[in-house]
Structure 1
């Protein structure tokens, strides 16, 4: 066993560490106990793998300049942050050394350790966020280099009511914030009516993956106006200056379950200062429609009705 020297402390290793092309340290596996000096205090990296949920030692990784990038911990520790104290089993850091992400749990799921097993270890955390005091069970919290919250990712099944520029929205998966603290995006737990430059749209994406809360289906510009909305319940019609109509609605695809079942494909609508950008399917080319001179209508859309519902809401730009 040898010991390698890092800018954060000495690390005993049993095998050769991974390096960048220039020879600088990229990753290593601790072979024994050690204490590293980090921006959030002195911490002991994971060096044992005796638990069912931790069958192997996770590597410590470093940025090219030698600062910490990812640090798995031997045991859960409470970490200070600008939003409050958060329990952590895994930390990541920005290249400037500031805290990037905190993960309260870091177990590896397998046939012997399930999400339900891991969930039994999860505990609610109370944080002071730009949206107010929130108490929920977290998969992780992310921070801007300045220390302000970038996003919160909720544990599956958790729903939190968030005060957004569009009003209170019951939110699943997560919420993200601009650097100045304004709401950047939320993932509506159920269809939420929001006003946009094209009219009222029901925001909801049943296919949202929930990997993290960084980017969600209802997003806002820093000034609070809607920048993006994903929907399966709204049809959008645009009337051009020469009177031509273009109608866009969520489309369908064959269900992964087969048996001839069909399921909706969420439609993405983005808003820039000059245009509305519609993407009807993941691989479909986006359609850009200038705001100037166009009239937009929205209407509820049900896939079982060929024309949707007749009530229209109009916005003239």
Structure 2
């Protein structure tokens, strides 16, 4: 057993520590009980492997300034956060020491322990949010470096009714907030009609990935105006000042499962004060149309109704 000297005191570790280019530690496996004094109180890093959920011992990681970055915990511990008390098996921190994310569960998924197994351990938690109290099952709760609630990541089977600037919406996967507390984005659980600068659009992305709740399909600026929407049910047309016709719609492509079925790629519209930017997915913009000089119309994307909205689950 070696000893790693840190700002939290000597830490017994297994093997050698990984290091930043300047020689300061970047990651290490803790090998015996030790306490870290953090902004959330005294926390004990995971140093044992105890059951099939934890057949893997994750490392503690550090920023270059010595501040702990990621801290898997030996036991589930209730920590006091700006959103209220939360049970935690993993916590991460910003470089200034403030809490970044709290993960109520941190089991290692494997052939012996599935996401469904882990999800059955998730409990309903009640949080303080800028929208008022919200209760649900959360994969992670995220904060910015100043301690303000940044986002909520939901378990796949969780829906929350959320008041948005576009009306009440059933939300899945995640939602996020601006620093001032205004709602920044949500992931609609079902197609939701919203009013945009180019007309009514049905907001929904069937393939949205809930890795984190930071960025979602329906986004608002700090004043509550829609600034981004992803849709698989709406196409838009426009006629420019020169009479030219503009068109944009979701894409229908062959399923990646290769079974002859088809799936949809959402049309993503991003708005600012002067223009709408058109793209499909996270790639480069495909077009930028001026709002003031273009007459827009939105219509149902008929092809969408022949394609299942359910994400494909490819079999091996």
Same fold (TM > 0.5): yes
Distance in 1 separating the partners of 2:302 and 2:273: 30
Superposition TM-score, scaled by structure 1 size: 0.93
Match of 1:115 in 2: 115
Q: Shift of the alpha carbon at 1:282?
A: 5.2
Q: Shift of the alpha carbon at 1:216?
A: 0.3
Residue 80, structure 1, aligned to residue 80, structure 2:
yes
CA distance in 2, matches of 1:162, 1:302: 29
Check whether the contact 1:237–1:297 (CA below 8 A) recurs between aligned residues. yes
State the match for 1:204 in structure 2.
204
Counterpart in 2 of 1:310?
none
Partner of 1:240: 240
SS of the counterpart of 2:118?
Answer: helix
What is the CA–CA distance in structure 2 between the aligned matches of 1:103 and 1:284, rounded to whole Å? 33
Residue in structure 1 matched with residue 106 of structure 2 by the alignment: 106
Partner of 1:229: 229
Give distance in 2, aligned partners of 1:280 and 1:154.
Answer: 25
The change in CA–CA distance for 1:304 and 1:54 in structure 2 (over 3 A counts) is: closer
Q: Deviations over 1:265-300 (max 9, x none)?
A: 111000011110011355564210011211111112
TM-score, length-normalised on structure 2?
A: 0.94
Does residue 20 in structure 1 map to residue 10 in structure 2? no
Query: Per the alignment, do residues 241 and 147 of structure 1 end up closer, same or farther by CA in structure 2, a change over 3 Å counting?
Result: same
What 5-or-longer segments of structure 2 have no aligned partner?
307-316
Residues of 2 paired with 1:281 and 1:102: CA distance?
A: 29
2:269 and 2:282 map into 1 onto residues whose CA distance is 12
Query: Deviation above 6 Å: which 4+ runs of structure 1?
Result: none
Q: Secondary structure at the match of 1:85?
A: strand
Q: In the TM superposition, what whole-angstrom CA distance separates every residue of 1:208-265 from its partner, at most 9, and x where no partner exists?
A: 0111111000001111100100000011111101222111111110012333222211
Q: State yes or no: 1:4 paired with 2:7.
A: no
Instruction: Report what 2:189 is aligned to.
Output: 189
**Worse-matched range after superposition: 14-23 or 169-178:** 14-23
Which residue pairs with 1:137 in the alignment?
137
User: Is the 1:248–1:280 contact (alpha carbons within 8 Å) kept by the matching residues of 2?
Assistant: no
Compared CA separation, residues 281 and 8, structure 1 to 2 (3 A): closer
Q: Does the residue aligned with 1:252 lie in a helix, a strand or coil?
A: strand
Give the stretch that moved more between structures: 248-257 or 216-225.
248-257
Alpha-carbon distance in 2 for matches of 1:37, 1:270? 44
Secondary structure class of the residue paired with 1:171: strand
SS of residue in 2 equivalent to 1:14: strand
Please name the residue that 2:258 is paired with: 258
Task: Indicate conservation of the 8 Å contact 1:48/1:74, yes or no.
Answer: yes
Partners of 1:36 and 1:280 lie apart in 2 by 45
The superposition leaves residues 24-61 of structure 1 with CA deviations (integer Å, 9 ceiling, x where unpaired) of 11111111111110110001100001211111221110
d(CA) in 2 for partners of 1:286, 1:181? 32
Q: Deviations over 1:171-200 (max 9, x none)?
A: 000100011111110000000011111111
Distance 1:231 1:66, change over 3 A: same
CA RMSD, 1 decimal: 1.5
1:164 matches 2:168: no
